[in-house]
Structure 1
Amino acid sequence: MDGIKALTFDTGGTILDWHGGISRKLAEVAGRRGLKADWAAATNEYRRRSLGAIVNQLGPRFNFDDVHRDQLDRVVADFGLGALTKEDRDEIWRAWFALDAWPDFVPGLDRLRVKYPCVSFTLLTPRLVIDVSRRNGITWDCIISCEMLGVYKVRPEAYQGTAKLLQLKPAEILMVACHNFDLDAARKEGFKTCFVKRPLEWGPAGPPDPTPNPACDLVVDGFEELAARMSC
Structure 2
Amino acid sequence: MDVRALVFDVFGTVVDWRGGIAREVRRLLPGLDAEALADAWRGRYVPSMDRVRRGELPWTSLDELHRTSLDELLAEFGVPGVPEAVRNELVLAWHRLDPWPDSVEGLTRLKDRYVIASLSDGNVALLVDMAKHGGLPWDTVLSAELFGHYKPDPEAYDGAARLLGLPPERVLMVAAHVGDLAAARARGLRTAYIHRPREHGSAAAPPPETDPEADVSVASLTELAAQLGA
TM interval, short-chain normalised: over 0.9
SS of equivalent residue, structure 1 residue 205: coil
Residue deviations 1:174-215, cap 9 Å, x none?
Answer: 100001111010011111111101111122333674454311
Alignment equivalent of 1:217, drawn from 203, 215, 218: 215
Aligned to 2:132: 134
Q: Secondary structure at the match of 1:15?
A: coil
Change (3 A) 1:174 1:99: same
Letter in 2 for 1:158: A
> 1:82, CA displacement in angstroms?
2.0
25, 36, 46: which one aligns with 2:41: 46
Deviates more, 1:138-147 or 1:58-67: 58-67
Any residues of structure 2 matched to 1:109-188 within 5 Å, and which? 109-188=107-186
Candidates 56, 70, 73, aligned match of 1:75: 73
Could you tell me which amino acid in structure 1 is paired with residue 84 of structure 2?
K
RMSD: 1.7
Q: Are the equivalent residues in 2 in contact too, given 1:200–1:207 (CA < 8 A)?
A: no
Q: What SS class does the counterpart of residue 14 from structure 1 fall into?
A: coil
Letter in 1 for 2:217: V
Shift of 1:159: 0.8
Give the gaps of 5 or more residues in structure 2. Answer: none
Cα contact 1:56–1:151 (8 A) shared by 2: no
Please tell me the residue identity of whatever aligns with 2:97: L
Mapped to 1, the partners of 2:147 and 2:3 lie a distance apart of 23
Label 1:216 to 1:56 Cα distance change in 2 as closer, same or farther (>3 A): farther
Structure 1 portions without partners, runs of 5+? none
SS in 2 for 1:120: strand
Mapped to 1, the partners of 2:42 and 2:208 lie a distance apart of: 16
- State the alpha-carbon separation in 2 of the partners of residues 27 and 15 from structure 1: 23
Alignment partner of 2:29: what SS? helix
TM-score with structure 2 setting the length: 0.92
Q: 1:55 offset after TM fit, Å? A: 5.2
Partner Cα distance (1:100, 1:189) in 2: 30
Per the alignment, residue 198 of structure 1 pairs with: 196
Report the counterpart of residue 32 of structure 2 in structure 1: 36
TM-score, normalised on structure 1?
Answer: 0.92
Query: How far does the alpha carbon of each residue in 1:57-102 deviate from its partner, in whole angstroms, 9 at most, with x for none?
Result: 4583310000111101111111212242222222211211111111
Task: Tell me the CA shift for residue 231 of structure 1.
Answer: 0.7
Q: Return the offset for 1:9.
A: 0.4
Tell me the residue number matched to 2:227.
229
After superposing the two structures, state which structure 1 stretch, 42-51 or 104-113, moved more: 42-51
The amino acid that maps onto 2:41 is Y
Q: Does the CA-based 8 Å contact 1:178-1:197 persist in structure 2?
A: yes
Deviates more, 1:51-60 or 1:214-223: 51-60
